[in-house]
Amino acid sequence: MAGSNVAVFLDRDGTINFDPGYLGDPDKVILLPGVGQGISRLKKQIDAIIIVVSNQSGITRGLISEDDVKAVNEKINELLKEYGTGIDAFYYCPFHPDFDPPEKTKCRKPSPEMILRAAKDFSIDLNKSYMVGDTLTDIEAGIKAGTKTVLLVSKDKESENFTLQNKSIIPTFVAANFSDACNFIIDDFFGRNN
């Protein structure tokens, strides 16, 4: 990873792990199919820095604590160790406009603030980087930050793609699953998608 300036930013719940809603129990963390292998490939084949950027408004809602979020993040990395890989950094926004003043919620996606902060912390070239997520807010955040974007579309999220089209927000690529997203990123990185 030394010297890499390419990052793959990942949403967390619904992108790399199953999303039961306000996940606070590390024992309930289940990686989605292909995630361990995919992250391992991204690190080995394109030397990517892997960074999670997630909205965690369950904290301000009083449904989960910051310690819960950190425990879940640690569990994700524990599970990824089985694949010889891991997340390099986790960024999360604990706030929500219904509960917090505007100055606090600036970090919340679709704002690119978490991506921009990580880019500064890790000296990342955003033009060479990617944002992968399963919602409109992920794609908007990536576009605003200047990354390429990959939308994961599962059966229960097909409306996201329709909403994106209606708002004229076009992801760089629409993937059927995490493995598909990684294949696109690796091919794109090496210029094989042209």
Active-site amino acid positions: 11, 13
Compute the distance between CA of residue 23 and CA of residue 17 in angstroms, rounded to an integer: 10
DSSP state letter for 112: S
Phi, psi of 31, rounded to the nearest 5 degrees: -65, 145
Compute the distance between CA of residue 140 and CA of residue 157 in angstroms, rounded to an integer: 16
DSSP state letter for 172: S
Q: How is 14-72 classified by DSSP, letter by letter?
A: TTTB---SS---GGG--BPTTHHHHHHHHHHHH--EEEEEEE-TTTTTTSS-HHHHHHH
Tokens 């694949």 correspond to 83
Paired with 130 in beta bridges are 8, 148
